[in-house]
Amino acid sequence: MKSDKDKPQRLITTIVGAIGVVYGDIGTSPLYTMKLMFSGPLATDPSPSNIMGALSLIFWALTMVISIKYVLFIMRADNRGEGGIMALMALALHRRHRRSHRAWIMGIGLFGTALFYGDGLITPAISVLSAVEGLEIGTPRLHPFIQPIAVGVLLALFSIQRYGTSRVGILFGPIMVLWFLAVGYLGFRSLIQNPEVLEALNPLYAVQFFQNQGWQGFFILGAVVLALTGGEALYADMGHFGLASIRWSWYLFVLPALLINYLGQGALLLRNPEAMQNPFYLLVPEGALYPMVALATLATIIASQAVISGAFSITRQAIQLDYLPRQRMIHTSESEIGQIFVPAVNRVLMFGVIGLVLFFGSSAELAAAYGIAVTGAMAIDTMLAFIVAIDSWKWPIRWATAVMGTFLFIDLSFFAANIPKIPEGGWFPLLLGGASFLTMTTWKRGREVLQHRLQRESVSLGAFLEQIATYPPIRVPGTAIFLNSRHLSLPFALLQNFEHNHILHERIILLTVIFEDIPFVSEKDRLMVENLEQNFFRVTAKFGFMQVPHVPRALALCPLAGLAINLDEATFFLGRETVIPTRDRELNRYQEKLFISLYRNAASPLQFFRLPPRRVIELGSVIEV
């Protein structure tokens, strides 16, 4: 047992780790936020009053949305230590029993998850492009090479995903610590030359900005939101680093570094308005430009890595909650359960990100697509947190409405400010989010229809046991394990095996794997064994949505539940259904085609449940949906 003396050291270690993983996206926002406020598609004139107003908006946006909403309030909504939109949705569903309420909660939760995939494509593209664009500040002749260099960096990033982050992850923290020290130092050098920019922390400058700019000022919020991208990562990664380390690192290190850099960029613009073309890199002393580009590229790779890993993680959660078909997953670390690689998701992200870089060409153009997904997901977080505040925290509804209503007003203001971006590229994350949402809802509905058809054609387990008691079949030595849905009493594979071979194993285990809407299920709660007649046993294995469904390891716990089995002599029987269309449709034609395509391309249960290949027999059947 570790002593109390080790606690400060452990806290420092987790703080450095959190800085390396959690803050990559929001930490690289200074590369493009101020630049796009004064030189982007909806840019405003870099006058002193506008510069001060923009700085005030950034400061108060970071304060209200990140420092207060996420760090103080939403991070209280931990699902047994885990955060993220899936965990928040599970919490919101926990005490809601009315079907209409649950459907509404699941709908907005799934759409928020879908928007996350849109963010997962745009973040690597805009971050890496912004970093590499610093090369043309020092050497304008390098402009034609910006895209190829960015594509090369991204290809390298996606190609190493199969090896996992455990080997290079230890470097993330120190690199990001160096990054924040560098951006803070650059901002401070400029800030001390124009200390009057500190007055921008007064919210009156933000109010005056809106008064002077009118509707143009409102739409500038579409650029301000770029300073908030990655805010949800603080909540999503809470389970990896803990609430304390994330809060300490944000308030004492990351936030001050970001604010000082933004103020420094503002001070530079006050001295030289023409620096609006790239105020971040123009803060850098001439001899340090290329090292800073290299450091920025490393920081953006780390930011992209966090988003990519998050996409893998949320895909696993969606699969285990039955919102996506099973996919082949590779666990890249024996000690860290969360380190996984999903080849299909990696391919989609790689082609999507590189396509964005080639299509938009620059960070300024790509910024038009950025913001819709981020602000939509932030608003959904607030709506789900409102439900949790009432149901789990027991807040009075007036207090919950006042607090969460204020946050929702801010979120929806940012979302509305991004609406003009839709024709310029904002359609992309909405299109991707809509496609992801359609995929998840179609899969969920299709699975329900399939289970209904299987249930309708299944045989009662009780009747089957009575039949073999009356007319005993031949029983052969060994243990047969049939994976079985909890909705069915008798597995199709068992019935097929019996009808074709007219024999049964001397011991039959009907295994049902259930994924609970909590992150983790402890080993003592993993298995439930029920002794049926005729040497039949029903075994239920429970996993959390953050856990690996390793069935052999779960079955190894059977002796503790009173069922002694030798897995080396057991045979796993799997049913493989071929799904075909039917005239008696419960899905519309397009959903039917999509579901059948998804079902045919789903990974085998053999890989998903980590079953030993030499001990598995698959039996096929044809089912109409």
Cβ atoms of 367 and 36 closer than 8 Å: yes
Q: What is the pLDDT of residue 1?
A: 45
- What are the pLDDT digits (tens) for 436-458? 899 999 999 988 888 887 777 77
Cβ atoms of 536 and 97 closer than 8 Å: no
Q: What is the 3-state secondary structure (H, E, C) of 33-70?
A: HHHHHHHCCCCCCCCHHHHHHHHHHHHHHHHHHHHHHH
Can you tell me the distance from the alpha carbon of 558 to that of 509, in angstroms, rounded to the nearest whole number?
A: 11
Q: What is the pLDDT of residue 329?
A: 80
Nearest to 65 by CA among 38, 26, 36: 26
Q: What is the pLDDT of residue 335?
A: 47
Query: Which residues of the chain, if any, have pLDDT below 70?
Result: 1-8, 10-11, 40-42, 96-97, 164-170, 239-240, 331-339, 486-488, 584, 625
pTM of the model: 0.82
Domains of the chain (ranges, CATH numbers): 6-445 (1.20.1740.10), 461-624 (no CATH)
Tokens 């998850």, residue located: 113
Strand runs (DSSP E) across 96-188, as ranges? none
Q: What is the pLDDT of residue 240?
A: 66
Vertex 129 angle, CA 430 and 163, to 5°? 85
Cβ neighbours around 308 below 10 Å, total: 25
**Structure tokens that stand for 206 in this block:** 């933000």
Q: Report CA torsion sign: 583, 586, 591, 592.
A: negative
Can you tell me the distance from the alpha carbon of 17 to that of 395, in angstroms, rounded to the nearest whole number?
A: 34
Q: What is the pLDDT of residue 462?
A: 86
